[in-house]
Structure formats: structure tokens, C-alpha cells
Chain A
Amino acid sequence: DGGITQSPKYLFRKEGQNVTLSCEQNLNHDAMYWYRQDPGQGLRLIYYSQIVNDFQKGDIAEGYSVSREKKESFPLTVTSAQKNPTAFYLCASSTGLQGTQHFGDGTRLSIL
């Protein structure tokens, strides 16, 4: 079955460390997204990408970076510049920016 795979499910970051969250999809979708979810705050868009080798900042891009070298993959790096990284991170994909989004099961990032 097609879907989106996020890994790892749980991740711990030390102070000053960069960490990378993986997102892979086999749905042949062009668009991919990264969201951050904090308790009581809904989804906040970090970055999104419409096509390979192109991506745009969302509402809260500071302290994060992404790449889109392959259609299937959209990894998110949480850099040391992100001072409050503890959150639940969700990756999604869709055929176009207006279509139904398909979500992964998320990665929960915590600080050691």
C-alpha cells in the first residue's frame, strides 16, 4: 500500500545539536509539507515543496531547513538555532497544493 513513512517515531536532541527527521512517500505526489504541532496550537506549517529542488518557507521556518532532491523524500533538519524544538512533527503530501493531504504518523522530538 502507498503511504508516507516518517522516522524515527521518537527522537531526542542534545543542546547545540542538529537533528534530521525523515519523510518518504510512495504516493507519487508532487507536493510535500512539514508541520509542527504543539498542544492546543493546531498545525503550523514549517516548509512546503511543490516540486523537486524547490521549496518555500511556511509560517515558522526559522531554525529549520529542508531539501527536496528526490520526489519521494523531504527531510527536515531541526538546527541548533531552533531554541524550542520539543514538539510533534508531521509530514504530509498531496498531488497538488490544493488537494487532499496524506499524513505520516509523526515524529516526537524532545530535548535531552
Chain B
Amino acid sequence: AQSVTQPDIHITVSEGASLELRCNYSYGATPYLFWYVQSPGQGLQLLLKYFSGDTLVQGIKGFEAEFKRSQSSFNLRKPSVHWSDAAEYFCAVGSPNTNAGKSTFGDGTTLTVKP
């Protein structure tokens, strides 16, 4: 069965600093991978996704993520964090096999941005 681990429950960075949020997955082949963001009291919004091809994926709001098969990772990065990036971030893994069932979400990482 597929699974997702987000090792960091809470991360604090200063505004303007770089950011990396970690995501590790367990899956037997190349999975579908997603990063979502949730602002307080809101639903989740897709930041970016990886299905195949180039392992460096660009998303909205200046975020990018890199799929590393050898490390089973899909870490989210941003070169310079803005105060509005404070939110909760979820990594998710899905299977290209249409019989494999639903996607699986990690437990999330809460990002706090210091002025």
C-alpha cells in the first residue's frame, strides 16, 4: 500500500529566507505526487503535481518540487518566502494504476513565517 510521510510537523522561517518542506513516499513504482496548501479555515489548493517527465516541477506562487526516485522523495521548495505563505502544506501520493484506489495524504506541515 502507498504511504506518505511528512517528517516536519511545524517549520518556522524568516520572511525572505528559502524554504524546503520534506515529503517521503512509499510506493512500488513511479507514483503520482502532489503538493497542496491550506490557509486557515479554507479548503486545500493544488500547488503542483508530478505525473511523469521532468523531475523538477514548477507550481503556482513560486513553488517548485523535485521528484527523486532514489530517495523516494518529493520535497517542496521556494527560494524566498513571503508572509502570505504561512499555511499548512500537504503532500499526497496517488497511483497511475486505475485499480489501485484513492490517493493518500501526509499529515501536513505547518509553516510559520517570521517578519
Contacts and interface: CB of A to CB of B under 8 A. Distances in A.
Nearest to B4: A42
Interface in A19-40: 31, 33, 40
The 9 closest A-B pairs by CB, nearest first: A103-B43, A42-B107, A98-B94, A103-B44, A97-B102, A42-B108, A43-B105, A105-B43, A104-B43
A106 interface: yes
B interface, size bucket: 20 to 34
Nearest to A90: B43
Nearest to A33: B102
Given A100-B34, A105-B42, A45 B102 contact: yes
Interface of A: 4, 6, 31, 33, 40-43, 45, 48, 88, 90, 92, 94, 96-106, 108
Nearest to B104: A45
